[in-house]
């Protein structure tokens, strides 16, 4: 947006959070999803990153309000994509001169089952690569897992969250399980889940837990989608593409910021602007 456009609407003249007016020395950025404007301090971005956002179209960022709304928007988008696939199947069936009512029933049933499955996992978090003790009893392993999860979340990541329903996924067998089984737990609200997933990347530099990964509890259909995305990403990287990442169910190219690679949430933004 040009400098002159900053006064066209009230929200573009001052920061949405602190209400301080924008000016020549007090810049702000407008987010494309919600179209609210924020100063650098309220975005909590480093100055270099804040300035770079306006220079590169591919840099994508979202405000805290957008992040709250995005899970619901992604849910709607995924639902629409699923329905489009089903419609394609119906069109092929109609093209052959037939329209089996059972196909329609199966489409509705599968969509409903997938929706219910995702809703049931909404407050779940999966833990991958957390070691298991082969000689531990079931109850002993559960106590050990509970203790380790609480150490990771509340001591290591300093989150202060309460977890419940900690369980290992899959049947245990010392002869067939060469790697630890995934673990799943439940939190009391979605904000706690968001905090956990946002802080999860900090584990990669931890001496003890660098190999532990905290992820959403995905349905089989979602896991297949992300498996296909990872396969496509590896193929593109093999062909020479760099700085690729999977964000919000799609592959994006991360911009180079300074000496490194920027890593922002996948929500279109607009460039920084100056007030009058």
Answer yes or no: is pLDDT of 37 > 90: no
pTM assigned to the model:
0.54
Answer yes or no: is pLDDT of 260 > 60: no
Residues 6+ apart with CB under 8 A from 91: none
Q: Give the residue-averaged pLDDT of 110-125.
A: 87
SS3 259: coil
CA nearest to 200, candidates 214, 218, 179, 217? 214
Extract the tokens encoding 24.
């020549």
In order of their start, the domains of the chain are 3-64+264-273 (3.30.40), 69-120 (no CATH), 124-217 (3.30.70.1820)
Answer yes or no: is pLDDT of 70 > 60: yes
| Residues 199-219 pLDDT 10s | 998 998 888 988 899 999 988
Higher confidence at residue 186 or residue 65? 186
Are 265 and 67 spatial neighbours (Cβ–Cβ below 8 Å)?
A: yes
**Cα(121)–Cα(235) distance, rounded to whole angstroms?**
31
What is the reported pLDDT for 11?
42
């Amino acid at each position: 947006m040009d400098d002159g456009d900053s006064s066209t609407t009230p929200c573009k003249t001052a920061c949405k959070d602190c209400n301080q007016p924008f000016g020549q020395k007090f810049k702000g950025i407008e987010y494309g999803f919600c179209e609210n404007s924020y100063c650098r301090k309220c975005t909590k971005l480093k100055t270099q990153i804040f300035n770079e956002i306006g220079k590169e179209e591919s840099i994508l960022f979202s405000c805290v309000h957008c992040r709250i709304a995005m899970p619901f928007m992604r849910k709607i988008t995924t639902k629409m994509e699923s329905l489009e696939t089903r419609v394609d199947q119906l069109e092929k069936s109609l093209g052959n001169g037939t329209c089996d009512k059972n196909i329609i029933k199966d489409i509705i049933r599968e969509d409903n089952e997938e929706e219910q499955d995702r809703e049931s996992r909404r407050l779940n978090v999966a833990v991958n690569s957390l070691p298991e003790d082969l000689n531990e009893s079931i109850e002993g392993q559960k106590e050990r897992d509970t203790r380790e999860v609480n150490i990771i979340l509340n001591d290591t990541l300093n989150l202060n969250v309460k977890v419940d329903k900690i369980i290992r996924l899959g049947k245990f067998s010392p002869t067939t399980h060469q790697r630890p089984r995934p673990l799943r737990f439940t939190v009391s609200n979605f904000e706690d889940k968001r905090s956990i997933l946002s802080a999860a990347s900090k584990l990669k530099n931890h001496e003890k837990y660098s190999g532990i990964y905290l992820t959403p509890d995905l349905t089989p259909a979602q896991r297949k989608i992300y498996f296909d995305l990872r396969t496509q990403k590896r193929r593109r990287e093999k062909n020479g593409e760099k700085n690729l990442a999977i964000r919000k169910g799609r592959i994006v190219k991360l911009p180079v910021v300074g000496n490194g690679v920027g890593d922002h949430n996948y929500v279109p933004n607009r460039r920084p602007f100056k007030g009058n």
